[in-house]
Chains A and B, each alone.
Chain A
Amino acid sequence: MTQMTNMTPVAGAPGRDATALRCRGIVKRYGSVVAVDGLDLEVRRGECFGLLGPNGAGKTTTIEILEGLLAPDAGEVEVLGRRWADHAGELRARLGIQLQDTQLSDKLTVAETLRMFRSFYGSGPDVDELLAMVQLESKRDAWVVKLSGGQRQRLSVACALAGRPELLFLDEPTTGLDPQSRRQLWDVLARVRRDGATVLLTTHYMDEAHALCDRVAIVDRGTVIALGTPEALVASLGAEHVVEFAVTPGSALPPGAALAALPGARDVRHENGTVAVTSTAVHQTVPALLDALAAAGAQLSLLTTHSATLEDVFVALTGRHLRDG
């Protein structure tokens, strides 16, 4: 699909350009802690954009600033060509927002909850359509307190869809869900995207970012440290595979220089007794590695290989894992 990325915004017709959201240099401090540190973003219409980063990277603060729920200490935010200060009422009607930690009323039913949210919007799907969108038809008359975690999360997304939003914000939509519930939520989002909505989501699951997002911004310590399609970000490692191994305690490792010189090896990283070698050619790296280990008299306790992921991109950029927080 050709994106009209070069089209200049037309003065006097805000919101008609190809940019759904733009922010420049946003900063948010809590006392001496800088949660967001000069962050820039641009989200195009129709895309699914992911903010990927560990817990505490500033993703939630960033998305709440973009949602107009928090005021930044510095920087500019433009959503659908509008600013929060001037058009909050209009923006509220055009956006769909799902927050990370909302607990909906326990003792309302699913349909009652949706009917209440639907009443706030001048147009949008009716309650039955919303139920169908998130596949909760069978839970229509169940109290919220009786729902599973995945069902609650889908209800929360349905509430965000009640006004048929042009831009949907989702903050950690699948955190804490079991794999099957995550898949179901991904299916819901795929349907939303088919209807043409732009989606901005935060996640600390690299597989989620990979599966859902057209483009991903990797966020760490309040700034964007990498930006691109998931494929381009992985390709930026210069290697498609990661070989990880560990040796039994007491075994000597081959010298670092020997590992770096393995055929196909691009990068060698030690952490917690495990060594990760990024490689462009696993079929050459692994036999050579085994030879080097034999020469050093080392005994393997672990050997795995996997295709490089966004997690590896994050590790390569920061030296830390996404899950480490």
Chain B
Amino acid sequence: MASRGGASHPLVELTLARFREFLREPEAVFWVFAFPVIMTCALGIAFRSRGDEPTIVGVAAGDGAAAVIDTLERAGGFTVRSIPPEGVERAIRDGEAPVVVVPGHPPTYRFDEARAESQVARLAVDAALQRAAGRVDAFTAATVPIETVGSRYIDWLVPGLLGMNIMSTGLWGVGFAIVQARTRRLLKRLVATPMSRAHYLASHVLNRLVFLVLEAVVIIGFAWLAFDVPVRGSVALLGGLALAGALAFGGLGLLLASRARTIEAVSGLMNLVMLPMWVLSGVFFASSNFPEAMQPFIQALPLTALNDALRGVMIEGLTAQALAGELAILGAWGAVSFALALRLFRWQ
């Protein structure tokens, strides 16, 4: 019988070592846990719903400006800013005012057609000025504002932030630790023992799984407490998705670190891999914004699959069957990366 002299199974000991190394590195703990919370908080505040906030309107200084300002202030619902005539374009460009009224008979509206905010402000200003000039509305419709939990931007954003965090901690956590062990010649020392190489690589992925559960709880818990972000589907399925994501990105992290000799080299590779996914995979805005021709590529990316699946569970309450496609994509990325990493890995 194999006695291990008080030690546990090598996979357990290796994973424990990873675990301890991570917990004893305060900066790493900050980036993994505090960073996504700060990010969620900042974005939640920036994109909070603001239904009845006044519309900002610029009025170009000059003849008739005082009359326009007086009219808008009496109409209510506007914050009026006086803009020097030569600063009109700059004010619109910088977002100081989404629309600027240049007084005259009739007045001129300067605004940015490409910005929804600008369009809305133009309509509101126009309505107020027309009414003041004597237009009579045919009827006054009743308005009932809706603010449904689950349909706000923050509800859509949080699953994307969780997916992004799973990606970046998976890649950095695994890749950094491995390249560091390589530059310290620790990998070479380990392969001089009877240690199983697969155990070593698996310990890095397992370590990610453990922390990932904690990360997911912190992010979702915070979003729920601070912004009422719901989880409509099964919590167990959400946990399973997070694990599948951690496996896929842990495997990818192994692959990226499999030959890099320096921290700089592996950092470059990771940024190269992560950057397109930050943009394409629907973290901050939907990936459907990209042309149809790119969609097959975008849908095959692991972060797209993970984000879609996380949103499916959190917002739509989908079941595992409905997410089989996404799970298969994540599984394939994890399995292929791990197998390739084991084959390509440079131990010395």
Contacts and interface: CB of A to CB of B under 8 A. Distances in A.
A275 B17 CA distance: 57
A107 B25 contact: yes
- What's the dominant secondary structure at chain A's contact region? loop
Contacts of A69: 188, 191-192, 348
B5 A112 contact: no
Contact of B2 (A122, A129, A143): A122
Contacts of B2: 122-123
Nearest to A88: B194
B185 A116 contact: no
A129 to B, nearest CB: 8
A123 B3 contact: yes
A103 B192 contact: no
A101 B6 CA distance: 28
B21 A108 contact: yes
Contact of B20 (A101, A104, A108, A159): A108
Interface residues of A, number: 35
Contacts of A121: 4-5, 193-194
A125 B7 CA distance: 11
Contacts of A196: none
B7 A97 contact: no
B189 A99 contact: yes
Contacts of A140: none
B185 A102 contact: yes
B235 interface: no
A127 B195 CA distance: 17
Contacts of B181: 105
A108 B184 CA distance: 14
Nearest to B192: A97
A99 B185 CA distance: 9
A143 B14 CA distance: 17
A67 interface: yes
Contacts of B24: 107, 143
B263 interface: no
A120 B195 contact: yes
Contacts of A107: 20-21, 24-25
B186 interface: yes
Interface string A158-188: 0100110000000000000000000000000
7 contacts: A102-B189, A104-B186, A112-B17, A116-B10, A116-B14, A119-B14, A126-B5
